[in-house]
């Protein structure tokens, strides 16, 4: 079987999915963030009970609402809860908490913008946040003795 004929068979199955990804980028980004934050808040050992009870409601509000204002508040709320988890466990928290906090803040500011500017802001925020987060991760790894020595 040729690759082109295989792609012709798969294309009708994937084209609606690809179309949603292209046309509804902000909703997809919010949905993915909410799902990841939900999984982290409900399964991490660093999470307090109040956070694991609050994040599912905020995630549900972020995904299901049609209002940009409610979506902004829900995404910002998730980011602030993640920040509170980080602060409560500042010495033992994994990098995931920091990542979810900063990405949530960047996503919240993109959600606050009017379409089509929201996607432009989301892309700019994503590029800046990725660079900043990778720089922070590099500094953390260079400063931690167990990463440099290989004792981990």
pLDDT at position 87: 86
In this structure, what are the phi and psi dihedrals at residue 128, rounded to the nearest 5 degrees? -65, -45
pLDDT confidence of residue 10: 63
Query: Residue holding tokens 């906090």?
Result: 101
Looking at 24-150, list the stretches that DSSP marks H as alpha helix, in order from N- to C-terminal side. Answer: 25-43, 49-64, 68-88, 95-111, 117-143, 145-149
CA–CA distance, 36 with 42 (Å, rounded to integer): 10
CA 39 to chain centre: 11
Question: Please, how many CA atoms are within 13 Å of residue 47, restricted to the half-sphere of its CB?
Answer: 22
Q: State residue 33's pLDDT score.
A: 93
What is the distance between the alpha carbons of residues 141 and 114, in angstroms, rounded to a whole number? 38
When computed from its CA atoms, the radius of gyration of the chain, rounded to whole angstroms, is 19
Measuring CA to CA, which residue among 129, 125, 101, 103 is closest to residue 113?
125
- The tens-digit pLDDT sequence of the chain (152 residues) is 555 565 566 666 667 777 777 788 888 889 999 999 999 888 878 788 888 899 999 999 999 998 989 999 999 999 999 999 888 887 666 678 888 888 898 889 888 888 888 888 888 888 888 788 778 778 777 776 665 555 55
At residue 53, the pLDDT reads 92
């Amino acid at each position: 079987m040729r690759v082109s004929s295989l792609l012709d068979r798969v294309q009708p199955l994937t084209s609606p999915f690809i179309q949603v990804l292209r046309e509804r980028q902000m909703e997809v980004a919010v949905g993915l963030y909410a799902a990841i934050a939900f999984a982290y808040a409900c399964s991490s050992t660093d999470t307090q009970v109040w956070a694991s009870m609050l994040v599912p409601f905020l995630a549900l509000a972020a995904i299901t609402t049609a209002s940009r204002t409610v979506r902004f508040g829900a995404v910002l709320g998730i980011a602030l809860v993640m920040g509170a988890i980080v602060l409560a466990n500042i010495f033992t928290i994994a990098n995931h908490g920091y990542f979810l906090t900063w990405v949530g803040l960047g996503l919240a500011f993109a959600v606050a913008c009017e379409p089509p500017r929201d996607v432009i802001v989301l892309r700019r925020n994503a590029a800046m946040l990725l660079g900043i987060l990778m720089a922070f991760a590099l500094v953390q790894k260079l400063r931690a003795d167990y990463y440099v020595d290989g004792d981990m």
